[in-house]
Amino acid sequence: MAKLYFYYASMNAGKSSHLLQADFNYRERGMRTMLWTAALDSRSAGMVRSRIGLESEAQRFTPATDLWSTINAAHKVEPLDCVLVDEAQFLTPDQVWQLARLADEGGIPVLCYGLRTDFQGALFPGSAVLLGIADALVELKAVCHCGRKATMNLRVDAEGQAVRQEAQTEIGGNDRYVALCRRHFSAALAG
């Protein structure tokens, strides 16, 4: 039976490289995969890219993308063995349910990778639904500067100061976000 998986972590935990390794493992065995990433992330330009230099082409989803119809149509033409979704925090709740349907009715394993929380510690809507309905939850680990597990994403400005109030989503990498343990995250927001 196919399952819906959610691999989640803070920034810099290797989510994209883990996705690309899983994709490689399927393809090395002659299996067919389909990769997706958020169109919102303008840095990706239709690619899943890891910070360690791995990359692969991917379909791009927007909030209007009907993942069930699009993926199911492709699956009918040439069967898919796995669907992999990067930046899964940007999925809508309906899209998460569509991916669950692909696993349940289509028999296609779906591996989603994304952030659990935003820069204020709040769940992203897509992540909230994935945490609620995924068959398997896997936390990938990042490390805070103190050596503890990093679970939070601190947004910083150009001077490296904590940002406390802005829109939930702002695309950026190491220039805009720092992965921290909860203790150092809370201290940065308080300071």
Catalytic residue numbers, as ranges: 87
Q: Is 128 exposed, middle or buried (0-12, 13-18, 19+ CB in 10 A)?
A: middle
Taking a C-beta distance cutoff of 8 angstroms, is the pair 56, 36 a contact? no
Of 166, 162, 165, 97, nearest to 134 by C-alpha is 97
Paired tokens of 45: 């330009």
Contact predicate 48/112, CB 8 Å? no
Residues 6+ apart with CB under 8 A from 178: 11, 153, 154, 156
Beta bridge partners of 60: 37
Question: How far is 66 from 87, CA to CA, in rounded Å?
Answer: 16
Residue 156 is given by DSSP the state B
